[in-house]
Structure formats: C-alpha cells, structure tokens
C-alpha cells in the first residue's frame, strides 16, 4: 500500500548549504494493505517530515514513494493534492474540527467540497459517526463533546472519502488517559475491519497498540 525507497529530505536553514538539516536519511519502508503500523521516535527524529511525505503534503528530495501502486514522489502541487484527497485520511493531535459545524456536518464536509449531494453526504456521515460510537451525538458541536469524542469525530471525517490509508499524527497527544484509551480502541477496531493505519507518536506506550512498530531516530529507520 505504501512503499518508500531511500527517501531523503533536508531543510535549508537561513539559506545556503551550510545550514542544512538532514531530517530524513535513506528511509526505506513498506506498509501492506490492512496493516496497523506505528512510526515511533523522539522529538526531532523526523516523524513529521516522514508523515508529510507519506501524506502527500511534501515531496522527498530523493528516493521513491509509491502509494497504492503509483509513484507520487515527483508529482506537482495540484496533482499531489488530488492524490492526497483521494488516498489519505488525516487525523491530527488538535482534532481540527470546525467549531460552528455539528459533528455530522464536520464529517460530511469533505464530501461537500467534492460535490456529493446533500442526502448522500449526511447518510455517509451518520453511518461513520455510528461506526465510531457517536450515533447519539450527530448534532453536537465540538465544544459540546469531550476530547475523546471530538477525536472520534475527526476519525470519522478522515474516513468519509474511503481513503487507502488513515494517517494519524499524535492523535492522543491532547487527550487524558481515558480518552486516549477510547481513541486507541477505535483504531484497533478499524484495523480489525481491514483499515490500513499509520500512527505517528513519540509515546512508546501508544506505539505498542499497533501491530508493528517502525522506529525512527536521527532521520533514519532503525533496524
Ligand atoms: P519530529 O516530528 O520527530 O519531532 P521533525 O520531522 O519535525 O521531527 O523534524 C526533524 C528535524 O528537522 C529536526 O531537527 C527539526 O528541527 C528539523 N526541521 C523540521 N522542520 C524544519 C523546517 N521547516 N526548517 C528547518 N528545519 C526543520
Ligand atoms: Mg513532529
């Protein structure tokens, strides 16, 4: 499903080659359909840089990234954005829900932008919210939901366009222990139903919930 070969990515600091930070160095990895993988490493190890490339938000300087059988490592902005919309479902640490929209409107929003008719949008949003255990909170706004519930709405929204991969960047970073358990058990359930999940975290305990761990340190994948 995702295959990276010899990816590298450097950032230029203050202009000039002298200030380069090599954020990823020769990263190769392979994630199969239906796998639940955690990418784990300390702060500054290159997790966000890798996540940006896996999520088609950024391109590597060198190396190949194939997503769902297609080499996307050289795509230009608008093409990359299209692949991102179709293939990737994002979940972020801060939920990133729109505060004035209800749970079902938040989940339906990506379909609105895609031109799906209203009836179908709401049907899909409600089905997904029910799947994440929020069938009784369809009309609540984010401020009326707990942190764990908000993150479950965000997971439902990430799934609404049926992406190839669910990419979650520190999804429990803002949550207390109980809400963390809620979100991790949801990811576990989605994995049981065949979803491909990549969970990015600095937290070893969170990473242990995945089926497999890829450890990254100093921009390199550890053997
Ligand atoms: P993590 O998400 O694991 O904390 P990052 O991928 O954000 O790590 O960062 C990896 C390295 O690249 C760090 O040394 C960081 O300081 C550096 N870095 C990240 N983003 C930039 C940027 N936009 N410009 C310069 N350096 C950056
Ligand atoms: Mg990061």
Atom 10 (ligand 1) nearest CA: 46
Q: Which of 10, 18, 23, 25 to mutate to test the pocket of ligand 1 (most atoms within 8 A of CB)?
A: 23
pLDDT higher than 80, residue 170: yes
User: What is the DSSP pairing of strand 62-67 with strand 2-12?
Assistant: antiparallel
**102 contacts: CB under 8 Å, gap ≥ 6:** 138, 139, 140, 141
pLDDT of 20 reads: 87
pLDDT higher than 80, residue 199: yes
Atom 5 (ligand 1) nearest CA: 46
What is the rounded distance in angstroms from the CA atom of residue 34 to the CA atom of residue 89? 14
pLDDT higher than 70, residue 17: no
Which residues on neighbouring strands pair with residue 181, listed in sequence order?
A: none
Find, among 175, 222, 164, the residue nearest to 197 by Cα. 164
pLDDT higher than 70, residue 191: yes
What is the rounded distance in angstroms from the CA atom of residue 5 to the CA atom of residue 134? 39
pLDDT digits (tens, 9 = 90+) for 62-121: 999 999 999 999 999 899 999 999 999 999 999 999 999 999 999 999 999 889 999 999
CA 137 to ligand 2 centroid distance, Å: 31
Contact assessment for residue 80 and residue 87, using Cβ atoms and an 8 Å cutoff: no
pLDDT of 15 reads: 60
Contact assessment for residue 135 and residue 129, using Cβ atoms and an 8 Å cutoff: yes
Q: C-alpha angle 121/125/136, rounded to 5°? A: 140
């Amino acid at each position: 499903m995702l295959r990276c070969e010899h990816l590298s990515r450097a950032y230029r600091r203050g202009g000039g080659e002298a200030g380069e930070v090599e954020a990823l160095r020769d990263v190769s990895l392979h994630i199969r359909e239906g796998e639940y993988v955690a990418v784990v490493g300390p702060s500054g190890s290159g997790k966000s840089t890798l996540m940006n490339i896996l999520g088609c938000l950024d391109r590597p300087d060198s190396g190949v990234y194939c997503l769902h059988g297609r080499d996307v490592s050289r795509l230009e902005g608008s093409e990359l954005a299209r692949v991102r919309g179709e293939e990737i479902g994002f979940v972020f640490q801060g939920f990133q829900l729109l505060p004035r929209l209800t749970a079902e409107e938040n989940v339906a929003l990506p379909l609105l932008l895609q031109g799906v008719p209203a009836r179908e949008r709401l049907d899909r949003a409600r089905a997904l919210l029910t799947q994440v255990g929020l069938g009784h909170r369809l009309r609540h706004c984010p401020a009326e939901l707990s942190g764990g519930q908000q993150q479950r709405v965000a997971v439902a929204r990430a799934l609404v366009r049926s992406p190839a991969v669910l990419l979650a960047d520190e999804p429990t970073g803002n949550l207390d222990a109980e809400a963390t358990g809620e979100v991790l058990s949801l990811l576990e359930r989605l994995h049981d139903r065949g979803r491909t999940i990549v969970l990015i975290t600095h937290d070893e305990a969170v990473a242990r919930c995945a089926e497999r761990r890829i450890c990254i340190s100093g921009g390199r994948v550890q053997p």
